[in-house]
């Protein structure tokens, strides 16, 4: 946490662009989801379920010579959390980015199902949001059958939004008494009876033709392109805006660390509510 706070201080002092590789923010449909929720098309956020499920640590993978597993379960290298710190932070970022809301209090439950493992392989938190709504942020690395199953469901006053990283070409909208609306990347049409005007910046964002699947690498490329634009502007002494709208910034990184710290503290206290900023 001290290192994260030191990074924030350094970025503010030297006024430089700083990006955190939360890749899933680079999906066009993630940005489209953010527009739908933050513009109020579905009303106030009541409840959200943001999750990241994997199954690759369902056994003692770290004892099988898998380097990626070895360091993640080692407290000396991974810190105070494995599952939460590794992928729970991605679920938190997706929640914050899509809803535009902050977490103000957390109840955490960190569990270790695989015997002999020192850190959590299953991570569950119940959270209070800055608008008074509630959200669960959860992650698991012992969910056999799941690969990189990151997703979010946002239940609002007027309807529900559903997005999944493993099916990231679309956003599903559920409205009362109506058929599901499925919005496919590159096929979105403004003023369709639900959508109103969609920001030109979003509609003009370069994407490949619909039917050709964008995926992880395309999301990464979009983040890198946006970050590169700010770095080039900085080097040319032009204006730039590292505000978290196009990629995660240093403050997002600090918040992720603070979230894990609060979740661990709560879990150690039997699930006690922990307020944090």
pLDDT recorded at residue 163:
98
Q: For residue range 44-80, list pLDDT tens digits in order.
A: 999 999 999 999 999 999 999 999 999 999 999 999 9
- Quote the number of domains for the chain: 1
Whether 263 is in a domain gets the answer: yes
Whether 69 is in a domain gets the answer: yes
Whether 7 is in a domain gets the answer: yes
pLDDT recorded at residue 207:
87
pLDDT recorded at residue 277:
77
Whether 190 is in a domain gets the answer: yes
pLDDT recorded at residue 206:
81
Q: Which residue has the tokens 């800055």?
A: 130
E strand residue ranges, 96-158: 103-111, 122-129, 134-140, 149-156
Whether 153 is in a domain gets the answer: yes
Q: For residue range 132-141, list pLDDT tens digits in order.
A: 999 999 999 9
pLDDT recorded at residue 47:
98
Whether 183 is in a domain gets the answer: yes
Q: Give the three-state DSSP class for 172.
A: strand
pLDDT < 70 stretches in the chain: none
> What b-and-e string marks burial along 50-84, b requiring 16 or more CB atoms within 10 Å of the CB?
bbbbbebbbeebbeeeeeebeebbeeeebbbbbbb
Q: Which residue has the tokens 């103000």?
A: 104
pLDDT recorded at residue 101:
98
Whether 277 is in a domain gets the answer: no
The pTM of this model reads: 0.97
Whether 14 is in a domain gets the answer: yes
How far, in Å, CA of 186 to CA of 49, rounded?
26
CATH number at residue 134: 3.30.360.10
pLDDT recorded at residue 256:
98
Q: For residue range 202-237, list pLDDT tens digits in order.
A: 999 888 999 999 999 999 999 999 999 999 999 999
Structural domain for 47, as ranges: 2-271
């Amino acid at each position: 946490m001290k290192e994260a706070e030191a990074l924030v201080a350094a970025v503010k002092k030297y006024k430089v662009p700083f990006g955190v590789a939360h890749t899933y923010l680079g999906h066009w449909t993630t940005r489209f989801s953010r527009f739908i929720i933050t513009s109020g098309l579905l009303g106030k956020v009541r409840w959200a379920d943001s999750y990241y499920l994997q199954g690759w640590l369902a056994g003692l993978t770290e004892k099988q010579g898998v380097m990626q597993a070895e360091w993640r379960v080692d407290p000396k290298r991974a810190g105070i959390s494995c599952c939460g710190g590794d992928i729970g932070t991605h679920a938190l970022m997706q929640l914050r980015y899509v809803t535009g809301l902050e977490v103000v209090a957390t109840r955490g439950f960190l569990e270790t199902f695989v015997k002999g493992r020192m850190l959590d392989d299953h991570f569950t938190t119940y959270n209070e949001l800055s608008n008074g709504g509630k959200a669960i942020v959860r992650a698991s690395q012992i969910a056999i059958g799941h690969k990189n199953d990151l997703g979010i469901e946002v239940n609002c006053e007027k309807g529900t939004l559903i997005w999944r990283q493993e099916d990231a070409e679309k956003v599903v909208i559920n409205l009362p008494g109506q058929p599901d609306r499925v919005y496919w990347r590159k096929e979105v049409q403004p003023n369709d009876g639900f959508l109103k005007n969609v920001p030109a910046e979003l509609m003009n964002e370069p994407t490949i033709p619909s039917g050709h699947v964008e995926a992880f690498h395309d999301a990464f490329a979009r983040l890198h392109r946006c970050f590169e634009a700010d770095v080039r502007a900085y080097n040319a002494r032009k204006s730039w805006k590292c505000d978290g709208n196009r990629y995660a910034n240093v403050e997002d990184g600090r918040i992720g660390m603070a979230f894990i710290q609060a979740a661990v503290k709560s879990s150690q206290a039997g699930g006690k509510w922990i307020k944090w900023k």
